Structure formats: structure tokens, C-alpha cells
Amino acid sequence: MTFSSIKSKIPDRAVASILFGCLCILVRRVFFSLEWAPIEAGANHFDFPDKLFTPIMTSLQTAFIALVIASVVWCIWSWCMERWWWAIVATIFASLAVFDVFFVR
């Protein structure tokens, strides 16, 4: 088997959409776990200073919104270029990411 025959069987766009969707959900889970972290902790706890906490939260929020947009764009592109089976799988993961970002609170 040559490299080009192996490469032609891998659905690049669909795999990218699936990875972007999974990364989006992971980054959003990190965001919400940090959102519930105590800002003013007791004596034995780590205290998040506002100068460190606010930019991290802003960056994470920007990251998961950018990842969900990338997932949707690559999903649409996979519908144009890939086989229907891989495009359906990419659509499932992209829709899970969209649902998780915009509809779950």
C-alpha cells in the first residue's frame, strides 16, 4: 500500500470537525470548572488573583466559541467533500458542540 492510497481513505475534514467539536466541549468544561472556583479562599486554599483569573476566563471563552465555529465550518466543508457517512459523524459532533456551547447553562 502506498502513502497516497492510505491518505485518500482518511476523511481529513470530517476528522478535523470531530476534533474541533471535542476540543470545544473540553475547553468549555475547563471554563465552567474554573468559573465555580472560589475567588476568595480560606487559609489553606489557593487564591485566584483577579489579574490572573479574568484573562484566563476571557481566553477560554474565546477559545470555545472559536472552536465551535471551526467545527461547524469544517462540518459544512466535509459535507461538500467527504462521503456521507463521515459527514454524518462530523455533523453529530459539531451539533453536540453547538448544543453544549449555546444551549447548556
Q: Mean pLDDT across the stretch 25-54?
A: 70
CA distances from 1 to 7, 12, 51 (A): 10, 19, 55
Name the pLDDT band for 92 (thresholds 50, 70, 90). Answer: very high
Mean pLDDT over each residue of the chain, to the nearest integer? 81
CA 103 distance to own-chain centroid? 15
What count of other Cβ atoms lies within 10 Å of the Cβ of residue 17? 31
Q: What are 48-71's pLDDT values in tens digits?
A: 566 677 788 888 889 989 999 999
What count of other Cβ atoms lies within 10 Å of the Cβ of residue 34? 13
Q: What percent of the chain has pLDDT over 90?
A: 23
Q: What are 2-27's pLDDT values in tens digits?
A: 666 655 677 888 888 989 999 998 98
Amino acid at 62: T
- Rounded-to-integer distance, Cα 89 and Cα 82, Å: 11
Domain limits of the chain?
Answer: 12-35+48-102
Name the pLDDT band for 72 (thresholds 50, 70, 90). Answer: very high
Place of cell 483577579: 50
